[in-house]
Amino acid sequence: MSPLESPPDGAGDETSQYPYWLMQARGEWDVLNRGVNGERSDEIRKRFARDVLLERPDATVIIAGVNDVYQGLPVDHVTAQLAAMYDAAAGATIAVVAGTIIPYNTATAEQNRKMHEVNSWIRERADGRWLHVVDTRAAVALPGNIDQLAETPDELHPTAAGYRRMAAAILPVLDRALATSSRSRSR
């Protein structure tokens, strides 16, 4: 589990997080899980310097915005926070793998519209050098319905199998990001 968060009631399933599956796939990697369940993008941004920039990783995975949408915040709030984190990472020569906002099954049509708008913005922002995009939404979505989770214990989160699919989608993009950023650093 993330060292920044205790699981509910002191229990939890470590396989219900994509960093666990990244570590299983790449045992030689040091994967730092800094995710905190329920945080909005502005809360993530507040601790971004401490949790990412000061650690000086080769790459970071940023998946944020679902809680903002869930809480009714506007799209421009989410994109401003994401832009600040993406820019800070690039300024520190840290490659970013930007994940799209994943669905939740109780989302309204308006909430899904907002998530799609943020996801389009993320895709448009990708430069293939410091910012790489992975469609984490598609990785966990019901085939044929991008707005519904394929498997969920609570209508809000993926199952462990869903997080494993997220990691499988992230892995090749993270590999490319690491290769690209190391070439850029050596120039």
* Alpha carbon distance 54, 52 (integer Å): 6
For the stretch 132-176, pLDDT in tens is: 999 999 999 999 999 999 999 999 999 999 999 999 999 999 999
**Considering the chain, what percentage of its residues have pLDDT values greater than 90?**
77
Dump strand ranges (E) for 66-179: 95-99, 131-134, 141-142, 145-149
CATH superfamily membership of 8-185:
SGNH hydrolase (3.40.50.1110)
* Alpha carbon distance 88, 90 (integer Å): 6
Question: What type of residue sits at position 166?
Answer: M
pLDDT of residue 33: 87
* Alpha carbon distance 51, 69 (integer Å): 23
pLDDT greater at residue 6 or residue 55: 55
DSSP structure class, residue 18: H
Dump strand ranges (E) for the chain: 59-62, 95-99, 131-134, 141-142, 145-149
pLDDT-derived band at 183, boundaries 50, 70, 90: low
**DSSP bridge partners of 99:** 134
Query: What is the value of pTM for the model shown?
Result: 0.90
- What mean pLDDT value characterizes the chain? 90
